[in-house]
Protein backbone atom coordinates (compact mmCIF):
# COMPACT_ATOMS: atom_id res chain seq x y z
CA UNK A 1 0.00 0.00 0.00
CA UNK A 2 2.88 2.37 0.72
CA UNK A 3 4.26 1.77 -2.76
CA UNK A 4 0.83 2.45 -4.27
CA UNK A 5 0.53 5.67 -2.27
CA UNK A 6 3.99 6.71 -3.47
CA UNK A 7 3.01 6.07 -7.10
CA UNK A 8 -0.16 8.10 -6.62
CA UNK A 9 1.82 10.99 -5.16
CA UNK A 10 4.18 10.85 -8.16
CA UNK A 11 1.19 10.78 -10.52
CA UNK A 12 -0.36 13.82 -8.84
CA UNK A 13 2.94 15.69 -8.99
CA UNK A 14 3.33 14.94 -12.71
CA UNK A 15 -0.27 15.34 -13.91
CA UNK A 16 -2.20 17.15 -11.21
CA UNK A 17 -5.36 16.05 -9.45
CA UNK A 18 -7.84 14.35 -11.77
CA UNK A 19 -10.63 11.78 -11.57
CA UNK A 20 -8.27 8.84 -12.13
CA UNK A 21 -6.07 9.91 -9.23
CA UNK A 22 -8.99 10.53 -6.88
CA UNK A 23 -10.54 7.18 -7.83
CA UNK A 24 -7.27 5.31 -7.23
CA UNK A 25 -6.76 7.02 -3.87
CA UNK A 26 -10.33 6.31 -2.77
CA UNK A 27 -10.01 2.64 -3.72
CA UNK A 28 -6.58 2.33 -2.11
CA UNK A 29 -7.79 3.83 1.16
CA UNK A 30 -10.87 1.64 1.19
CA UNK A 31 -8.71 -1.44 0.52
CA UNK A 32 -6.41 -0.36 3.35
CA UNK A 33 -9.42 0.09 5.63
CA UNK A 34 -10.73 -3.39 4.72
CA UNK A 35 -7.34 -4.99 5.32
CA UNK A 36 -6.79 -3.24 8.67
CA UNK A 37 -10.33 -4.10 9.73
CA UNK A 38 -9.74 -7.76 8.89
CA UNK A 39 -6.42 -7.77 10.76
CA UNK A 40 -8.04 -6.15 13.80
CA UNK A 41 -10.44 -9.06 14.14
CA UNK A 42 -13.39 -6.64 14.31
CA UNK A 43 -14.62 -7.18 10.74
CA UNK A 44 -18.07 -8.52 11.50
CA UNK A 45 -19.04 -5.87 14.03
CA UNK A 46 -21.65 -3.20 13.41
CA UNK A 47 -19.54 -0.28 14.66
CA UNK A 48 -16.38 0.94 12.97
CA UNK A 49 -13.34 0.84 15.32
CA UNK A 50 -12.34 4.38 16.37
CA UNK A 51 -8.76 4.01 15.12
CA UNK A 52 -9.99 3.12 11.60
CA UNK A 53 -12.65 5.83 11.31
CA UNK A 54 -10.27 8.51 9.92
CA UNK A 55 -9.17 6.14 7.15
CA UNK A 56 -12.77 5.40 6.17
CA UNK A 57 -13.73 9.10 6.38
CA UNK A 58 -10.88 10.05 4.04
CA UNK A 59 -12.04 7.39 1.57
CA UNK A 60 -15.62 8.68 1.82
CA UNK A 61 -14.44 12.24 1.14
CA UNK A 62 -12.50 11.08 -1.91
CA UNK A 63 -15.54 9.24 -3.28
CA UNK A 64 -17.63 12.40 -2.85
CA UNK A 65 -14.97 14.36 -4.72
CA UNK A 66 -14.82 11.72 -7.43
CA UNK A 67 -18.56 11.88 -8.01
CA UNK A 68 -18.31 15.65 -8.36
CA UNK A 69 -15.42 15.30 -10.81
CA UNK A 70 -17.29 12.67 -12.83
CA UNK A 71 -20.44 14.83 -12.89
CA UNK A 72 -18.46 17.71 -14.36
CA UNK A 73 -16.54 15.62 -16.89
CA UNK A 74 -17.33 13.43 -19.85
CA UNK A 75 -17.65 10.19 -17.90
CA UNK A 76 -19.45 7.24 -19.49
CA UNK A 77 -22.72 6.37 -17.73
CA UNK A 78 -21.47 2.91 -16.78
CA UNK A 79 -18.40 4.37 -15.08
CA UNK A 80 -20.49 6.96 -13.24
CA UNK A 81 -22.92 4.27 -12.04
CA UNK A 82 -20.02 2.13 -10.84
CA UNK A 83 -18.51 5.07 -8.99
CA UNK A 84 -21.85 5.85 -7.34
CA UNK A 85 -22.17 2.23 -6.16
CA UNK A 86 -18.60 2.20 -4.79
CA UNK A 87 -19.20 5.52 -3.04
CA UNK A 88 -22.45 4.25 -1.52
CA UNK A 89 -20.56 1.23 -0.20
CA UNK A 90 -17.84 3.38 1.36
CA UNK A 91 -20.23 5.95 2.79
CA UNK A 92 -22.76 3.44 4.09
CA UNK A 93 -20.31 1.31 6.07
CA UNK A 94 -21.21 1.40 9.73
CA UNK A 95 -24.23 3.58 8.97
CA UNK A 96 -27.32 1.40 8.40
CA UNK A 97 -29.75 3.02 5.97
CA UNK A 98 -27.46 6.02 5.34
CA UNK A 99 -29.25 8.79 3.39
CA UNK A 100 -26.24 9.72 1.25
CA UNK A 101 -25.60 6.09 0.32
CA UNK A 102 -29.29 5.80 -0.59
CA UNK A 103 -29.06 8.94 -2.74
CA UNK A 104 -26.04 7.55 -4.60
CA UNK A 105 -27.68 4.18 -5.22
CA UNK A 106 -30.87 5.86 -6.48
CA UNK A 107 -28.81 8.04 -8.79
CA UNK A 108 -26.89 5.01 -10.08
CA UNK A 109 -30.23 3.37 -10.84
CA UNK A 110 -31.28 6.43 -12.84
CA UNK A 111 -27.99 6.49 -14.74
CA UNK A 112 -27.87 2.76 -15.48
CA UNK A 113 -31.21 1.02 -14.84
CA UNK A 114 -29.98 -2.39 -16.06
CA UNK A 115 -27.04 -2.57 -13.63
CA UNK A 116 -26.96 -6.14 -12.28
CA UNK A 117 -27.65 -6.22 -8.54
CA UNK A 118 -28.25 -2.51 -8.10
CA UNK A 119 -31.91 -2.85 -7.13
CA UNK A 120 -30.86 -5.54 -4.66
CA UNK A 121 -28.26 -3.22 -3.09
CA UNK A 122 -30.82 -0.45 -2.75
CA UNK A 123 -33.34 -2.92 -1.31
CA UNK A 124 -30.81 -4.06 1.31
CA UNK A 125 -30.13 -0.46 2.27
CA UNK A 126 -33.86 0.28 2.49
CA UNK A 127 -34.46 -2.78 4.68
CA UNK A 128 -31.72 -1.45 6.99
CA UNK A 129 -33.37 1.96 6.95
CA UNK A 130 -36.75 0.41 7.78
CA UNK A 131 -35.20 -1.41 10.73
CA UNK A 132 -33.67 1.84 12.01
CA UNK A 133 -37.00 3.64 11.60
CA UNK A 134 -38.80 0.88 13.48
CA UNK A 135 -36.25 1.03 16.31
CA UNK A 136 -36.92 4.77 16.56
CA UNK A 137 -40.68 4.12 16.75
CA UNK A 138 -41.35 5.62 13.32
CA UNK A 139 -43.36 4.25 10.39
CA UNK A 140 -41.26 1.78 8.38
CA UNK A 141 -43.95 0.13 6.23
CA UNK A 142 -43.57 2.25 3.07
CA UNK A 143 -39.78 1.90 3.12
CA UNK A 144 -40.03 -1.85 3.59
CA UNK A 145 -42.63 -2.06 0.77
CA UNK A 146 -40.32 -0.16 -1.60
CA UNK A 147 -37.43 -2.47 -0.70
CA UNK A 148 -39.57 -5.52 -1.43
CA UNK A 149 -40.66 -3.99 -4.75
CA UNK A 150 -37.05 -3.28 -5.75
CA UNK A 151 -35.99 -6.82 -4.93
CA UNK A 152 -38.90 -8.17 -7.01
CA UNK A 153 -37.86 -5.94 -9.91
CA UNK A 154 -34.30 -7.28 -9.60
CA UNK A 155 -35.59 -10.83 -9.83
CA UNK A 156 -37.79 -9.96 -12.82
CA UNK A 157 -34.79 -8.47 -14.65
CA UNK A 158 -32.26 -11.05 -13.47
CA UNK A 159 -34.11 -14.21 -12.36
CA UNK A 160 -30.90 -16.11 -11.56
CA UNK A 161 -29.33 -13.39 -9.40
CA UNK A 162 -28.57 -15.29 -6.18
CA UNK A 163 -28.34 -12.37 -3.69
CA UNK A 164 -31.85 -11.24 -4.70
CA UNK A 165 -33.15 -14.80 -4.33
CA UNK A 166 -31.56 -15.03 -0.88
CA UNK A 167 -33.08 -11.69 0.17
CA UNK A 168 -36.50 -12.81 -1.01
CA UNK A 169 -36.14 -16.10 0.86
CA UNK A 170 -35.09 -14.26 4.03
CA UNK A 171 -38.16 -12.05 3.75
CA UNK A 172 -40.44 -15.02 3.26
CA UNK A 173 -38.96 -16.73 6.32
CA UNK A 174 -39.36 -13.55 8.36
CA UNK A 175 -43.01 -13.20 7.33
CA UNK A 176 -43.81 -16.87 8.09
Model pLDDT for residues 116-140, shown as the tens digit of each residue: 999 999 999 999 999 999 999 999 9
| Its pTM surpasses 0.85 | no
60 CB-contact burial (10 Å; exposed 0-12 / middle 13-18 / buried 19+): buried
The average pLDDT across 163-171 equals 80
pLDDT band for position 173 (50/70/90)? very low
Better pLDDT: 19 or 105: 105
11 CB-contact burial (10 Å; exposed 0-12 / middle 13-18 / buried 19+): middle
Q: State whether residue 74 is helix, strand or coil.
A: coil
The average pLDDT across 26-30 equals 93
Asked if residue 174 has pLDDT above 70, the reply is no
Amino acid sequence: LNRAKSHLADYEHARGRDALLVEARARTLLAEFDRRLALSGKGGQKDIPKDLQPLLEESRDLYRELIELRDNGATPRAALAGTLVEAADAIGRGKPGDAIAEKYLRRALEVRPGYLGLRNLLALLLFEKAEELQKAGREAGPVRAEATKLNSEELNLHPDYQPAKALKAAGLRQNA
